[in-house]
Chain A
Amino acid sequence: MNDYNFAYLDEQTKRMIRRAILKGLAVPGYQVPFASREMPMPYGWGTGGVQVSAAALTPDDTLKVIDQGADDTTNAVSIRKFFEKTAGVETTEETEKASVIQTRHRIPEAELTEDQILVYQVPIPEPLRFLEPRETETRKMHALQEYGLMHVKLYEDISQHGAIATAYAYPVKVEGRYVMDPSPIPKFDNPKMEMAAIQLFGAGREQRIYAVPPYTQVVPLDFEDYPFEAGKADHACDLCGAEDSYLDEVILDDAGNRMFVCSDTDYCRSRREAGHSGRLGEEAA
């Protein structure tokens, strides 16, 4: 028993957010304005994602929260505790068991199913923002599909770095219509966005919600002669030996030693439990 309404927000607010989510699902990639509430956490810590999660949760759901792929970092732990306290829902660290997954800047390595909802925390929902500061103008550009400017950014990348250097928040075109910021996920995750699960994006400070329905076409922008490449560190995980997962680089000492580990902690743990081991797997265990 606690004194909070289920999942913290009042029912009217949740209805308002659900309407925005439904509209977002109906117009994939379109940023739906919503009346973002004050949440008991600072902007930039996932106020948008938390509100979307609160509106999507039911008492039967199992929640998983990840921050840069990890279940055990501050942001993930405190949001998980927040919903344990205010909604009393079950929580898990295992991707397969979760029905709602709130994420900051990663898509889990395990393939998601039709029974799952992935909620992204979004800092800046407008992909054109750094090129065109005026909101009136960017809205018009979306409405009229004037997306040439997005390619100017990619052009600048190639002219300065010889390749498209944008490594995260790589702009995508959804279902051939709206250009969308996939939130700051690494571009390694972009190909995964055509998935079976529902993807919801919440930006609390910017007061926008957008969504990608299951099996929706999501195409990264690129040039004919500089096609999109999903990149990752050219290593295997030093703990579990996985060669197909996105890796974090960890500096070990001041003598140049470093290790690469899966950023998805649940994926790494389940692989190690299944008997896989990497270069430093034995020592670390």
Chain B
Amino acid sequence: MTPLLQVKNVAKMYGARIGCTDVNFDLYPGEVMGIVGESGSGKSTLLNSLAGHLPPDRGEVIFDTRTEGPVDTVTMSEPERRMLSRTDWAFVHQHARDGLRMPVSAGGNIGERLMAVGDRHYGSIRERAADWLGRVEISESRIDDRPSAFSGGMQQRLQIARNLVTGPRLVFMDEPTGGLDVSVQARLLDLLRGLVREMGLSAIIVTHDLAVVRLLADRLMVMKDGHVVETGLTDQVLDDPQHAYTQLLVSSVLQV
């Protein structure tokens, strides 16, 4: 089977400082990969480099496109990359406000990607927007409300709906549960898990919350100071951490 995403020797420097370096992994279709590490460990830098938001300084990010097979997204032309990022890719920001258009209604937010790829039928756009609101457990009666009238959890779910409406194959998530209280987090994780399984999505989830990766991720990558210090199956890494930093990370989790 061809990996959906192959990451080879990716590095991003901020001047002389290391953002992240020597990152290698393959992601297969339907697989969810977690990236954990403390603040400043290079997780978000890596995610942004992979998603094309930051140009990496070295390395290849090879994506298995629908039409042309595996293509290096770092060297592909900008129009192609932007097309990819609104069809086959999705990016869920930590703050829903970064990923949503706040002055535009919920329906318009979900419909934007559809219109961006050429859908010009109002009725069908609205129907799919309503369908997706239902799938992320937002009442259809809120379709014409602006996201500013939504709670934090609802905004995050709306952002997810807006991203998944075009049926992407790869989702990048940057701390999708950050800033939400625990009961809302639990519901969101439940929803995400359902959607990932149902749609057969591949996902890369960056988080510092080990509980999130325990629930969602198949595989885990632990980062420290821009380097990958440990990789493996999620349960294996969390239950039997090998690297000193991973051991520290796992033992730092507060028990209730």
- On A, residues with C-beta under 8 Å from B are 131, 144, 146, 148-149, 151-152, 155-156, 158-160, 222-226
Contacts and interface: CB of A to CB of B under 8 A. Distances in A.
B115 A225 contact: no
A127 to B, nearest CB: 15
Contacts of B112: 148-149, 152
Contacts of B115: 148-149, 151-152, 155
Contacts of B82: 144, 146
Contacts of B78: 144
B122 A226 contact: yes
Query: Which 8 A-B residue pairs are closest in the complex by CB-CB distance?
Result: A148-B116, A148-B115, A151-B115, A223-B122, A224-B121, A144-B79, A155-B108, A152-B108
Interface stretch (B30-38, B99-107, B133-141, B228-236): B99-107
A159 B108 CA distance: 9
B126 interface: yes
A159 B105 contact: yes
A174 B107 CA distance: 28
Nearest to A160: B144
18 contacts: A131-B101, A144-B78, A144-B79, A148-B113, A148-B117, A148-B118, A149-B115, A149-B116, A151-B120, A152-B108, A156-B105, A158-B122, A159-B108, A159-B144, A160-B144, A223-B121, A223-B122, A226-B122
B125 interface: yes
A146 B121 contact: no
Nearest to B143: A159
Contacts of A151: 115, 120
A110 B85 CA distance: 48
B147 interface: no
B125 to A, nearest CB: 7
B125 A155 contact: yes
Given A148-B117, A149-B115, 18 more contacts: A131-B101, A148-B113, A148-B115, A148-B118, A151-B120, A152-B111, A155-B108, A155-B111, A155-B115, A159-B126, A159-B144, A222-B120, A223-B121, A224-B120, A224-B122, A225-B122, A225-B123, A226-B122
Nearest to B112: A152
A223 B107 contact: no
The interface centre, meaning the residue of A156, A160, A222 with most chain B CB atoms within 10 A of its CB, is A156
A158 B125 CA distance: 12
A160 B125 CA distance: 15
Contacts of B120: 151, 222-224
Contact of B101 (A146, A152, A160): A152
The interface centre, meaning the residue of A148, A149, A158 with most chain B CB atoms within 10 A of its CB, is A148
Nearest to A159: B144
Nearest to A155: B108
A19 to B, nearest CB: 28
Interface in B76-117: 78-79, 82, 101, 104-105, 107-108, 111-113, 115-117
A155 B144 CA distance: 11
Interface in B175-208: none
A269 B113 CA distance: 50
Contacts of A222: 120
Contacts of A149: 112, 115-116
Nearest to B106: A159
Nearest to A224: B121
Interface in B11-26: none
A134 to B, nearest CB: 13
B117 to A, nearest CB: 7
